[in-house]
Structure 1
Amino acid sequence: MAEKVRLAGKEKSELWFEGAVTVVLLLMLNFALFVLLKELVDISQQLQDSIWSVKNVLTFGQDKQHLWSWRSVFMGVMAIVDVIVVYWRLIRRYRQIQMRHVIRELHYIADGHLDHRIQFKVNTDLQKVINSINALVDSTVNSMQEERRIESSKDELITNVSHDIRTPLTSIIGYLGLIEDKQYKNDEELVKYTHTAYLKAKQMKVLVEDLFEYTKVRQTTTPLNPVKFDMIAMMEQLAASFELEGQKHHLRFVVSGRPNPLMMEADTEKLGRVFNNLIANALKYGKGAHHIFLNAEEVGSEVVIKVQNDGEQIPNDSLSKLFDRFYRVEGSRNQETGGTGLGLAIAQSIVTLHGGYIYADSTPTMTSFVIHLPRTLGQTLKPAQKVKNQ
């Protein structure tokens, strides 16, 4: 709660002293001016024969009761001037004291108390300075927190990558070591060891490629190559390319959309990576699913795309973490499903590069990944539009 600057006893005494000194100096100045003016009046009195107008305007003390005598006018004017000067001096001194308080608070913050804010309320331009200082401290704290978050994120990335690379690498070294030491009984066992090492090497290659892709699309300067295309035609091509794999999992693709054709502008190569990751996820983790639905609709200036499956529901506490890198719903670090945990993070980064956003929703009957993209590349969707329709 902002409050006025509270003066200490010493500061109140400083104001009283400032006022007293000012009054004394003004009285001395008034007396000097009074004497000087009296001398001028005496001179004019001696020249009254030649300057008769002065005699008519000024009374020279004979009529002491005259309301407009020069003494009354002088004293009235000087009293007003004195009050103004005293008030101005006191206000100036008070503002200097306020500034000292602000500087003291600023030094306190600079000493490392970044959770402290200046709570003074003043009626001058100093309030703008106070507000600017508080805003600057807030910005500094936010930058420091963001820097710590980035450092923590880097450490986490290194830890996760090291773990995911070490696991297959250990297997590769182990099996190649067995081959090197000729610890195999026959050629069949040799082929088995070699094949296992090969699969683990491919697993490492997938991780490295995903990591490279993730770091590339995370950069806001990553160039996009926009082209105009039909989104529904693209989804039909994707469904056809995954048809054989879908049959292995007893899944059928259903493509729909409106209007047809649905023309838009985007980097189709990068957008294809998004859909590949989402469909691959549905094939791997959509337990009990019978269909994968691909739907696109034009809504105002944006295109809303849904990749859905009617498989097992994703737990609510996992939905907000799905797009975190290396996160897996099953909560384990094994890679039995062949995933690196980077697919959805890559998809989110690519969608963001296009000025859109993506989120997940899951119910007992349907799991949906919903993408909002602007129809024209370069347009960024407003945060107010990022509202999930339940």
Structure 2
Amino acid sequence: MRNYEQPPQPFGPPPKKPKKKLSQRFPFHMIGGLIHFVVDVLMLIKTNVARSIRIQLILTFAVCTVASMASFAVADEMFGEVTKTAYLDYSNRSREIPITANNMASALEEESRSVLRRNGENTQAVRTDGSGPFAPAQAAEIASPPALPATVNQDAYSGTSEAPIGASLDERIRERFDNYSSDVKLLLTDMNGTVLYKNRLASETKVDTFALLGKLDTDRGEQSEVTAIRPVELGGRKLLLVASGYEEPTIVTRRGESPFAFLAALITFVALFYWMTRKKMRSLEELAAGLVEISRGRLDYRVPQQSKDELGSLASHINLMAEELQRTIEEERRAERTKSELITNVSHDLRTPLTLIMGYLRLLKDRNYEDNEQAAQYLNISYSKAEKLKKLIEDLFDYTKLSNHGVPMRMETVCLNEMLDQLSEELVTTAESERLYLSRQLTQDRLYVHMDPDKMIRVFENLLTNAIKYSLKPGEVRVRMTREGSRVRVCVTNRGGALTGEQLERLFDRFYRLDSSRSSETGGSGLGLAIAKSIVEAHEGRIWAESEHGEIRFWVDLPLAM
């Protein structure tokens, strides 16, 4: 016995419905994917259109052309109804008569074939009958074969009914001609022109077929007779079907042409093109105005960039050109200021030792000294000033040559660790005399650099002597070397006054001194760091300065030897 009781339901929330399979959700996934594809394509088209002014102009021209064509159609429809004219059309009748002749010829030939088929069936039936070879009725019909077979087309005539099946071909053709209700005259003649059959509109008994054939090639005027001749083969006989009738015109109205339609299309095209290109023209005008402002010397003027196409790119390039011109002019102005400072500093630095030399030499020339010891002192002072003057001139020449890459480099592969250690050791005494401690943090690995030793020693010597000279006393000067991949960095650090960003940028300019009151007596020639920068750059390196919390750090970055 079956148990129809339901099993007990488990406690807890009802089980979740299983998710539909991918096959059940496939149409929705396909539609969603198609929508995403269409959106991506539209966004791609929009992006390409926004980036190309050529495509924008093509689309603008296309839209304006379509709008002008629509405007032309509407205006032509409106003004054409006002200016339409009526005229007589004779072409319909000229086409109707040949069509009628074709239809009647086909109908006669089809009628002939139908009768021949029926006669053949009756002949076969008589021969199989026991009363004789032919029945009397069929024998009479076959004894005189049908004179005319033909083809039927119900559209060639109207108002007729099918002839009886047993009627002769002559009766069926005659009935077809008698019941033809059109106003076209129909004649069926032999090749001599004798009329065999005709409809009620025809009265001729004989026609001149050659004259009719000649009329087919002549031009017809209005209200002339139209004739169409078609050959018909009925029961082996060659006959001619002649259809003729007068042309009857029909009144046809034709819409007139008005210049207002062309004018409306032209106005639509010009107005729409002007409206769609107004933003681009405004952008061009702003570009032209911006170029005028920049040409007047306003290098801080920037052209607004309103699009991402070629005009936007042109605006960006114009702004970049203005920035480059502004930077170039500022560099030229800074170069002019540097030149003025150079002339001032060189004049001052050359005049001071030269004045002292000339003063002491004048004293010696005038013998304005007390004893030989004082004269020797004057000579020593003059000589030291002359050496300082020579050093200044040599530095100036060295900087000029290095800046123009006119100094040849004697390149060697040198261990930078050993060179810095030896140079620092030589300056320890000088640093201690200035109450400074010179510390070194060099790498354990020997790092080799392809360089000119004399020129590079001059760089690090200048950095160390400057650090010793301008450090706060007492204090410490640190030399640290690290490896950064395929390059090596050397840092010289000392404590001094805080430097601004402009001062850090100009530290390596020629004849630049942090304190304008310094002279060659207290601050050097001002060419040391400029010469160091030229030497480092000649070694494909980089030198720069940093200032933070009262510390000044000079960095030298050089490539390691392969």
TM over 0.5: yes
The 10-residue stretch of structure 1 (84-93 or 185-194) with the greater mean CA deviation from structure 2: 84-93
Alignment partners' CA distance in 2, 1:223 and 1:43: 105
Alignment partners' CA distance in 1, 2:489 and 2:85: 92
Inter-CA distance 340–135: structure 2 relative to 1 (3 Å threshold): closer
* Count of aligned residue pairs for this structure pair: 331
Structure 1 residue 28: deviation in Å?
12
Inter-CA distance 121–279: structure 2 relative to 1 (3 Å threshold): closer
Alignment partners' CA distance in 1, 2:366 and 2:90: 128
Q: Is the 8 A contact 2:492 2:555 kept in 1?
A: yes
Structure 1 residue 315: deviation in Å?
0.7
Which residue in the other structure is 1:199 paired with?
Answer: 384
Inter-CA distance 316–114: structure 2 relative to 1 (3 Å threshold): closer
Which residue in the other structure is 2:497 paired with?
Answer: 315
Q: Show the 5 A alignment for 1:143-292.
A: 143-219=328-404, 224-242=409-427, 245=430, 254-286=439-471, 288-289=473-474, 292=477
Alignment partners' CA distance in 1, 2:97 and 2:487: 95
Inter-CA distance 107–187: structure 2 relative to 1 (3 Å threshold): same
Q: Is the 8 A contact 1:232 1:256 kept in 2?
A: no
Inter-CA distance 305–99: structure 2 relative to 1 (3 Å threshold): closer
Q: TM-score, normalised by structure 2?
A: 0.48
The yes-or-no answer on 1:136 pairing with 2:321 is yes
Inter-CA distance 45–227: structure 2 relative to 1 (3 Å threshold): farther
Instruction: State the identity %.
Output: 31
Structure 1 residue 102: deviation in Å?
3.8
The yes-or-no answer on 1:359 pairing with 2:541 is no
RMSD: 4.7
Which residue in the other structure is 1:121 paired with?
Answer: 306
Alignment partners' CA distance in 2, 1:128 and 1:51: 71
From the CA coordinates, give the structure whose radius of gyration is larger: 2
Alignment partners' CA distance in 2, 1:308 and 1:113: 43
Structure 1 residue 247: deviation in Å?
6.3
The 10-residue stretch of structure 1 (191-200 or 333-342) with the greater mean CA deviation from structure 2: 333-342
Which residue in the other structure is 1:303 paired with?
Answer: 488
Q: Could you say what secondary structure the match of 1:169 adopts?
A: helix
Aligned partner of 1:152: which letter? Answer: R
The yes-or-no answer on 1:85 pairing with 2:85 is no
The yes-or-no answer on 1:339 pairing with 2:339 is no
Q: Could you say what secondary structure the match of 1:261 adopts?
A: coil
Structure 1 residue 338: deviation in Å?
7.1
Aligned partner of 2:485: which letter? Answer: G
Structure 1 residue 109: deviation in Å?
3.5
Alignment partners' CA distance in 1, 2:306 and 2:98: 59
Structure 1 portions without partners, runs of 5+? 1-21, 53-60, 65-69, 72-76, 378-390
Inter-CA distance 90–156: structure 2 relative to 1 (3 Å threshold): same
Structure 1 residue 164: deviation in Å?
1.0
Q: What are the superposed Cα offsets for residues 231-290 of structure 1, whole Å, 9 maximum, x if unpaired?
A: 111112323444565565576655442242122333333211111112222443445457
The 10-residue stretch of structure 1 (185-194 or 107-116) with the greater mean CA deviation from structure 2: 107-116
Alignment partners' CA distance in 2, 1:120 and 1:295: 49
Structure 1 residue 209: deviation in Å?
1.7
Q: Is the 8 A contact 1:231 1:296 kept in 2?
A: no
Q: What are the superposed Cα offsets for residues 58-109 of structure 1, whole Å, 9 maximum, x if unpaired?
A: xxx9999xxxxx98xxxxx999977973455425874556545543443343
Inter-CA distance 83–228: structure 2 relative to 1 (3 Å threshold): farther
Alignment partners' CA distance in 1, 2:92 and 2:307: 54
Q: Is the 8 A contact 2:357 2:382 kept in 1?
A: yes
Which residue in the other structure is 2:137 paired with?
Answer: none
Q: Could you say what secondary structure the match of 1:150 adopts?
A: helix
